[in-house]
A and B are shown apart, each in its own frame.
Chain A
Amino acid sequence: MNRTFGLSEFLFIVAAVRWTLLLSLVAFVGGGVLGLLIAILRTMSSRFVRLLTSGYIQLFQGTPVLMQLFLFYYGLSVLFDMQVDAWPAVALAFTLYSGAFLGEIWRGSIQAIPRTQWEASACLSLGYFQQLRFVILPQAMRISIPPTVGFLVQLIKGTSIAAIIGFVELTRAGQLMVNVTFKPMIIYPIVAALYFLVCWPLSLLARNLERRIDADLGIKRHL
């Protein structure tokens, strides 16, 4: 006997949005810290450091997220010789995945700042980290807003893959409700709409932010 799709089923799905958001937030913040570190290390000159960081990036960009999830999920279990919760595995996997992509996005943004900005600030006697902090990163940030938000939106939608190893986020919650009510054509549109409601404002926010910064810089641009 199938359950009917009612308010409590709907609320179960809506409530699962928080796990999607939390996973995305952890991955984005953790990956952001990691990515910034990677981006800065990649612009430095040590060959060993560049090799190491580029190896990490190639590894995580060149393999499917699903494989990374499997490897972390089963890998952690093997490592600790016990059944591991899905949460630490997905959090770790998505953090490292984000770090690789954000690292590349931000490295590109840093390197897009003209060499002359480095020179001008060096000639004011600023040290390397002072140059980054006051001159380079603020400008790189402006450039990186669109690709960063683009990646964040991809990440939020991408966390649905965590459903496969049983982590109950938005997609998994939808699946569970489909299993008991068998109303896929009601439930999946709702799930999709919820993703949209999360992602769309982010795109708007990004565009707004760009406009504000452009106005501060005295740039008029048509979007």
Chain B
Amino acid sequence: MPILALNGICKRFRAHVALDDVSLAIEPGEVVAIIGRSGSGKTTLLRCINGLEVPDSGEIVFDGRRVERSRAGLQALRREIGIVFQSFNLFPHLTVERNITLGPTVARGLPLAQAKERAREVLRQVDLEDKIAAVPLQLSGGQQQRVAIARSLAMQPRLMLFDEITSALDPELVGEVINVLEKLATDGMTMILVTHEMGFARVAADTVVFMHQGKIWEKGPPSRLFTAPATAELATFIDAILPVGAGVMHTIR
């Protein structure tokens, strides 16, 4: 049984159709990479999953239960689904440790001592144990993003959403965040990523979803999608985002 099922999700912002009848099912342990041009609806889709955007129609089923749009329903859902944002969104007035313990203690009622232990654990997972007492502004972008991942992990989610989490990073910092993602994927975390890191999508994703004009245009294993795109739109997209050198090679061949 899929852990998450989206059935006929539609969302429009005024005249702009952001999502047009999107259906998608995700199995436990699956790693799904959503790719596509900006404005194709990737981020909106991700935000609909944990209720940051409310779909105009369609239903979302998590773990066999239809997601209720009430405040309490969303709060319960967000205990199970973690999200990491492009711009980190750490709490700048709190230490790394408090950033991580806040959710478990305040929202889940975990005793502080246990939450601190868990903070240490998740920081070890992202290899930042030594920054436990720092405040966010003292950290590099890559470190902040790893803390954000740790913060989300501390809630022990069953599904994690990643919204272009390397896009705001300097190129030399992308690697350390990708490493963490790969480790998570290997550990069996169910993940949905909106990403421009095609290398990562190719290696770590089980399924790649190509979105275009608010629709799921193409979907399949990376081995097929990247080498044998079925639609002209995906072919053009792949050509456009391939590294310059590779693109040239492609043309010469």
Which of A's residues lie within 8 Å of B, judged by CB? Answer: 116-117, 119-128, 130, 134-135, 138-139, 142, 216-219
Contacts and interface: CB of A to CB of B under 8 A. Distances in A.
Contacts of B78: 122-125
B34 interface: no
A119 B37 CA distance: 24
Contacts of A218: 134-138
Given A122-B78, A219-B137, A117 B91 contact: yes
A127 B79 CA distance: 12
The 7 A-B residue pairs whose C-beta atoms are closest, nearest first, are A124-B103, A120-B89, A125-B107, A218-B137, A125-B78, A218-B138, A116-B89
Nearest to B134: A218
B16 interface: no
Contacts of B205: none
15 contacts: A120-B85, A120-B90, A123-B50, A123-B152, A124-B78, A125-B108, A127-B71, A130-B107, A134-B102, A134-B106, A139-B92, A139-B93, A216-B135, A217-B137, A218-B136
A201 B74 CA distance: 48
B75 interface: yes
Contact of A126 (B90, B106, B134, B152): B106
A101 B108 CA distance: 37
Which of B52, B93, B138 has the most chain A CB within a 10 Å cutoff? B93
Nearest to A119: B52
Interface string B111-124: 00000000000000
Which of B103, B137, B138 has the most chain A CB within a 10 Å cutoff? B103
B107 A117 contact: no
A216 B87 CA distance: 21
A127 B75 contact: yes
A119 B161 CA distance: 14
Given A123-B52, A139-B92, A116 B106 contact: no
A62 to B, nearest CB: 35
A116 B107 contact: no
Contacts of A120: 85, 89-91
Interface of B: 50, 52, 71, 74-76, 78-79, 82-83, 85, 87, 89-93, 102-103, 106-108, 134-138, 151-152, 155
A128 B82 CA distance: 18
Contacts of A138: 93
A125 B75 contact: yes
A75 B76 CA distance: 52
Given A119-B89, A135-B91, A124 B107 contact: yes
A219 to B, nearest CB: 6
Nearest to B92: A217
A119 B85 CA distance: 10
Nearest to A138: B93
Contacts of A134: 102, 106
Which of A124, A128, A130, A219 has the most chain B CB within a 10 Å cutoff? A124
Given A123-B152, A125-B78, A216-B135, 11 more contacts: A123-B83, A124-B107, A125-B75, A125-B103, A126-B107, A127-B107, A134-B102, A139-B91, A217-B137, A218-B134, A218-B138
Contacts of B91: 117, 120-121, 135, 139
Contacts of B50: 123
Contacts of A128: 71
Contacts of B87: 116
Which of A116, A121, A122 has the most chain B CB within a 10 Å cutoff? A122
A127 B194 CA distance: 27
A127 B76 CA distance: 10
B205 to A, nearest CB: 23
Contacts of B93: 138-139, 142, 216-217
B138 A117 contact: no
A216 to B, nearest CB: 7
A67 to B, nearest CB: 41
Contact of A124 (B52, B135, B137, B155): B155
Contacts of A216: 93, 135
